[in-house]
Amino acid sequence: MTDPLVRPKRKDPLKRTRMPLAPPAARSRTAHGLTAAAAEGKFALQVCSDCAAVTYPPRDACPSCLSPRLPFMPVDNRGTLVAETTVHNSPEPYFRERVPWRVGVVKLDVGPSVVAHLHGDTVEGARVRLELKLDKIGAPVMIALPAKETPNMQDDPQLREMTCDPKFRRVLITDGRSAVGQAMAKAFAEAGSTIVFVGIADAWKPYPGMEALRRIERVEIVPLDLTDSESVAEQAEQNGGRIDIVVNTAEHVRAGGFVDRHGLTVAREQMDIRYFGLVRLAQAFGPVLRGRGADGVNSAAAFVNLLSVHALMNWPAYGAYAAVEAACLSAAQCLRAELRPGGVKVVNVFSGPLETEWFQTVPPPKVAPAALARAVVDALKRGLEDVFVGDVAEDVRARLAVNPKALEREISN
């Protein structure tokens, strides 16, 4: 059984903040098949298209039949922990600071044996589940978890190195005026976040749900306007050092594309709130997040972007909106590279139309704000990087993988 995580003591202000270090990051191009699976929380290994052998570590030819056709496929992740050891010393600076560190060999039921990190509740000789995770530098690693849930399992220190669990972390929800922002505040409070900062722009304008938002435990309303560089900078100056997870809930959804829209006012607002808002957050909060990636139990952990899945393929009915979302996705990819050295994950959460007033005329399936919030918390607990929430998001992703051109034509009809 894992010792339950305790709320960290207040920091000794005379001590230097521990600097983030990276575990070894080098992976072959083929091995990034594991990165792709880990990013979405899947378990995939190479399966030979010719002889069906499952192989690990990643290779360019099948060790059984020498076939080069070795795609990554979802496989059963169950196995047995056949050997375990505890590392007490390591030449790697990252592990030196974290020893003792348990590793072991897991014999997977599907064939290969894997050297993996070990959850504290795994026992030599017992059944385990292997999960693919992204470590502090975003490289794919495997961790063996006990076959069944154990008490406080999520609090295991080795597992927590690979996740962004909101428990005892402080989160900033950038916009609390919307249903999504409010659902997010509730979900993080329930997930055990120590402080849920919720940004409100133009506090003189009332908004639906204001009273309910204020009543959520550990919610602290703060002035924050993503369209105002000074406001974002001031919030980062005041609270940046004690914000571990940023969830950008700012949204600006309007139906329509370009040809039938009059002028640029709405387009500018969309870019200002979404794209420039993200840039402002990145500039203001990025440096301090990146500097606090190894700052103990409540280290900086994640920057969450809520994106339309139509960032991946434009949906002309909401075409201008989708174009801005695509810009945000591109910015998020840059931010991911910039924050990775600090051990801070950029989590992109894609969804289709939401159950909100701006998608009122769109028929279901739509994603409820509470479902989106649950998906975000779940993604952080599991340490995911790319998340697809709801039927539309999954459908777009699947069709994009098969034939992007077909999707482009079909989505515009």
Partner 1 sequence: MSSVDLLAFAQAVASGKIRVIDLTQTLSQEFPTIVLPPEFGQCAPFRIEEVSRYDERGPAWYWNNLSMGEHTGTHFDAPIHWISGKDLPNNSVDTIDAAKFIAPAVVIDCSQQCAADPDFMLTIPFVEAWEARHGRIGPGHWVLLRTDWSKKPYPQYAGMRDDGAHTPGPEPAVVKWLVEERDVHGFGTETIGTDYGQGQHFNPPYPAHFYMHGKGRYGLQCLANLDQLPARGAVIFSAPLKIKQGSGSPLRVLALVSGED
> Residue 162: phi, psi to the nearest 5?
-110, 0
Give CA separation, 232 vs 225, 241, 246, 274, 281, in Å: 6, 14, 12, 13, 7
From candidates 30, 35, 227, 356, binder to partner 1 by CB under 8 A? 227
Is residue 190 part of the contact set for partner 1 (CB under 8 A)? Answer: no
Which residue, 243, 83, 203, 97, is CA-closest to 157? 97
Residue 204 binds partner 1, judged by CB under 8 A: yes
Is residue 260 a contact residue for partner 1 (CB under 8 A)? Answer: no
Check residue 413 for interaction with partner 1 (CB under 8 A). no
Q: Which of 13, 91, 263, 363 binds partner 1 (CB under 8 A)?
A: 263
Binding mask 269-298 for partner 1 (x = CB under 8 A): x-----------------------------
Smaller CB separation from partner 1, 10 or 204 = 204
Among 266, 267, 317, 371, binds partner 1 (CB under 8 A): 266
Residues in the chain: 413
- Using CA atoms, how far apart are residues 296 and 209, in angstroms rounded to an integer? 35
Which of 57/257 has CB closer to partner 1?
257
CA–CA gap between residue 250 and residue 178 (Å, rounded): 8
3-state secondary structure of 44: strand
123/203 with CB nearer partner 1: 203
Rule CB under 8 A: is residue 202 a binding residue for partner 1?
yes
With contact defined as beta carbons under 8 Å apart, do 267 and 192 qualify?
no
31 vs 46: CA distance, rounded Å: 10
CA distance linking residue 298 with residue 107, whole number of Å = 34
Look at strands 127-134 and 113-118 and give their pairing: unpaired
At its nearest, how many Å lie between partner 1 and the CB of residue 307?
A: 21
C-beta of residue 45 within 8 angstroms of C-beta of residue 113: no
Report the residue from 230, 237, 391, 410 that binds partner 1 according to the rule CB under 8 A. Answer: 230
Residue 13 is a binding residue for partner 1 (CB under 8 A): no
Judge contact between 274 and 251, C-beta under 8 A: yes
125 binds partner 1 (CB under 8 A): no
> In the complex, what is the shortest distance from the CB of residue 272 to partner 1, in angstroms, rounded to a whole number?
8
CA 372 to chain centre: 13
Does 229 engage in binding with partner 1 (CB under 8 A)?
Answer: yes
Which of these ranges, 14-22, 87-95, 98-106, 225-233, lies near partner 1 under the rule CB under 8 A?
225-233
Binding residues for partner 1, rule: CB under 8 A, are: 202-206, 225, 227-231, 263, 265-266, 269
